[in-house]
Structure 1
Amino acid sequence: MRLIVLTCLTMMAFASNSILTRLAIDGGHIDASRFTLVRVAAGASVLALLIALRGGGLPLLRRDRLPGAISLAVYMVGFSLAYLTLDAGLGALILFGVVQIAMFAHGALKGNAPTGRQMTGAGIAFGGLFLALWPGPGGAADPVGAGLMVLAGLGWAAYTIIGKRSADPLAATAANFLLCLPIVVVMLLGAGGTISNTGVALGILCGGVTSGLGYALWYTVLPKLEGATAAIVQLSVPILAIVAGVLFLDEPLSLLLVLSAAMVVGGIAWAITARSVRADHN
């Protein structure tokens, strides 16, 4: 029961990243650039504190550290800027779909030949993602926002692939957050806009709690979950974000969004429950 509760809290934390970001930026409390900086700084502080309390140093000078930090920065910047125009649930769905499809494609390119069931599931998920990204009248996504979220998804997929080789994911994440901060500052150099106490508080909550503590909690429960289970439970994240967006942000729930979510989540579920699927997680 404890494992179930902790896993549910983790998925809620991941979904909350979309809700908090959308609430802060779309609500006019803080601009996307400053929100990103606050989020990364808060996440780095909390993760570094956890490492200090646990004992041990931060692996800042490892071979994969710079690529990991850069890919994390791409995710952070793209994620925040995308929510200037995207609804929370739609953004989470695009992010989740791009990450899973990109990691599936990476596995195939690395020689992990997909089964027919995996190909079918990936095709369905890709079709759902295509619907979510459909431009023009009736389309669910703003093209600029969707493009930025696709970029964020590719950044997170790269970050996850790089991080899979880490012997200590929590320490590696803390180091990446610390190195990511100056990269984000450079990427957003010259950007400016709105800032308020509420916006800063939301950024700290998103970075320190739902990101920093959320990742720490995930790495705590992850070893206790079977590979397929770890992959499947993450299917709840875009659904939770969609429901929370409707309930707390008054975002519309369109038929196209429901159909897209069903195809993306259903297709990925079909693929990752195949017998030969390796469990990929973010």
Structure 2
Amino acid sequence: MKATIYTIIALIAFAANSLFCRMALAEGYIDAWSFTVIRLLSAAACLVVIMTIHAYRLQRQALTADKPSVDAILNDKGSWLSSVSLVIYALCFSIAYVELDTGTGALILFSAVQLTMIGWGIYKKEQLSALQWLAFAVAVAGFVYLMLPSAAIPSPLAAALMAMSGIAWGIYSIRGKSCVSPLRATGFNFVRSLVAVPILLLVGMTYLDDLGFKNINLEGITTEGVLLASASGAIASGLGYSIWYTAMPLLKNTQAAIVQLCVPVIAALLGVIFLSEQLTVPFIVASTVILGAVLVFTLNKKVPV
């Protein structure tokens, strides 16, 4: 039950992240590089506050609890590799969505995430039952059915960036399973990611024109863009990721991979509610197929010997 609740909340946060990014970039409220910088800064600030409160409670518990266990949690400070994966995911995600439409971007992103995580699970000898394979195939088919009608032929560079974003997210998710304290590891990873902020600003303000992108335009950053990027960082990323990596140790790699297929469906629902996007019959059919298959996959936890 705990894993289910954490997973649902995290998936809604991930979907909200896509919504915030789509609204900010599609409406031209902010550029992709500035969006990424503000997202990282706000997420780090939010998580520092949460970690401070968490550490205070742990130190009080250490007076009556197992002190070595508490010390192990307090010593979990993430890693530079996870931070690099985080920065790559966030930056590539934002830049790619400037050119890709929603359907194409989501299809490439989540396909890359699934391939990365399921591939790692199979490499680590996680076996799937026949019913899990069937549920996975049905979920992927429903996902493709949902996304292909709205997909347009992407530019090769944007498609490659979104695929790189998905691979980075997959790696980051896998590494989250080994954390002693997912909350602290996530917080320190975001704090470490701030080392990249000056580099992002330098590249974004000086070299992008030569690479075929637009340089950062400080005058083009609006209040709406800053607020959306801040919400993406503090709420959808900071809080969302901390909850997700609390749920990850309770899930197998393959289970964690397939439930993320729900994110585009939830994002589409949020688009209907907040952006007045049309709710179509293909969307309803695909949503039913995907969510049903995910439920079957998640509940089928027995692994054949």
Structures share a fold, TM > 0.5? yes
Deviation at 1:7, TM superposition (A): 6.6
Give the aligned residue type for 1:168: S
What corresponds to 2:12 in structure 1? 12
Kept in 1: contact 2:104–2:147 (CA 8 A)? no
Going from structure 1 to structure 2, the CA distance change for 1:105 and 1:8 (only over 3 Å counts) comes to: closer
Alignment of 1:16-35 (within 5 A): 16-35=16-35
Deviation at 1:48, TM superposition (A): 1.3
| Among 228, 233, 237, the residue aligned to 1:211 | 237
Deviation at 1:58, TM superposition (A): 7.0
What corresponds to 1:196 in structure 2? 222
- Alignment identity in percent? 35
Partner of 2:98, secondary structure, is coil
Ranges in structure 2 where 5+ consecutive residues have no aligned partner:
57-73, 205-215
| Among 112, 131, 137, the residue aligned to 1:98 | 112
Give the aligned residue type for 2:127: A
| Among 140, 151, 171, the residue aligned to 1:140 | 151
Q: Deviations over 1:162-191 (max 9, x none)?
A: 121110001100111112233365356422
What corresponds to 1:117 in structure 2? 131
Alignment of 1:156-167 (within 5 A): 156-167=169-180
Aligned residue pair count: 269
Going from structure 1 to structure 2, the CA distance change for 1:109 and 1:130 (only over 3 Å counts) comes to: farther
**With structure 2 as the length reference, what TM-score do the two structures score?**
0.71
Deviation at 1:40, TM superposition (A): 0.6
Measure the CA separation in 2 of the matches of 1:7 and 1:131: 24
Q: Does 1:246 align with 2:297?
A: no
Kept in 2: contact 1:246–1:253 (CA 8 A)? yes
Deviation at 1:251, TM superposition (A): 3.7
| Among 253, 263, 266, the residue aligned to 1:237 | 263
**With structure 1 as the length reference, what TM-score do the two structures score?**
0.76
Measure the CA separation in 2 of the matches of 1:180 and 1:71: 9
Kept in 2: contact 1:89–1:243 (CA 8 A)? no
Deviation at 1:111, TM superposition (A): 1.6
Q: Select the structure of larger CA radius of gyration.
A: 2
* Structure with a larger share of its residues in helix: 2
Measure the CA separation in 1 of the matches of 2:169 and 2:120: 13
Deviation at 1:47, TM superposition (A): 0.6
Q: Does 1:153 align with 2:166?
A: yes
Deviation at 1:243, TM superposition (A): 1.2
What corresponds to 2:83 in structure 1? 69
Give the aligned residue type for 2:225: G
Ranges in structure 1 where 5+ consecutive residues have no aligned partner:
none
Partner of 2:28, secondary structure, is coil
Deviation at 1:270, TM superposition (A): 4.0
Please give the root-mean-square deviation of Cα atoms over the aligned residues, in Å. Answer: 3.7
Deviation at 1:121, TM superposition (A): 3.0
Deviation at 1:200, TM superposition (A): 1.1
Greater mean alpha carbon deviation, residues 246-255 or residues 201-210: 246-255
Going from structure 1 to structure 2, the CA distance change for 1:146 and 1:249 (only over 3 Å counts) comes to: farther
Q: Deviations over 1:123-143 (max 9, x none)?
A: 344445555675xxx661452
Kept in 2: contact 1:133–1:146 (CA 8 A)? no
Q: Deviations over 1:99-156 (max 9, x none)?
A: 234312211122223322333333344445555675xxx6614524554333222111
Partner of 1:237, secondary structure, is helix
Q: Does 1:172 align with 2:176?
A: no
Deviation at 1:69, TM superposition (A): 0.9
Partner of 1:166, secondary structure, is coil
Kept in 2: contact 1:43–1:211 (CA 8 A)? yes
Kept in 1: contact 2:173–2:245 (CA 8 A)? no
Measure the CA separation in 2 of the matches of 1:149 and 1:99: 10
Greater mean alpha carbon deviation, residues 145-154 or residues 85-94: 85-94
Kept in 2: contact 1:89–1:239 (CA 8 A)? no
Alignment of 1:253-272 (within 5 A): 265-272=291-298
